[in-house]
Amino acid sequence: VQLQAFGGGLVQAGASLRLSCIASQGTFGGFNIGWFRQAPGKEREFLTVISSTGIVTLSGDSVKGRYTISRDNAKNTVWLQINTLRPEDTAAYFCAAGTRYSKRGQDYDYWGQGTQVTVSS
């Protein structure tokens, strides 16, 4: 499956963004989809994951309450809603697909190219 992330941009602190992860060339519905981010000079950080059916979600402690993940398998799309953006949210955001429901990047088999989110103060 091929993934592509969209929706990043330059926003002011306090704004909201909705990132999209669109899949092609594969059975999207069979995969758990996770979102990660990586800021310059920092390690990749797990944000949230949604199960293949969309029933179960898990979020990292740093984003609970501000980040919401959802999916529509009929549209081959997963969304990441980010509210009340902060300058420290500035990073490249990646979606990934895997058969394991996991916080670990190494458990994911397919990665999108990422979309940049920049938050100004």
| DSSP H or E run through 72 | strand 67-72
**Separation CA 67–CA 41 (nearest Å):** 23
Tokens of 29: 């519905």
> Which pLDDT value is given to residue 55?
83
Angle at CA of residue 2, ends 58 and 74, nearest 5°: 65
φ, ψ of residue 61 in degrees (nearest 5): -60, -30
Q: Report the chain (121 residues): mean pLDDT per 10 consecutive residues.
A: 95 97 86 96 95 86 88 95 96 96 94 96 93
Single-letter amino acid, residue 119: V
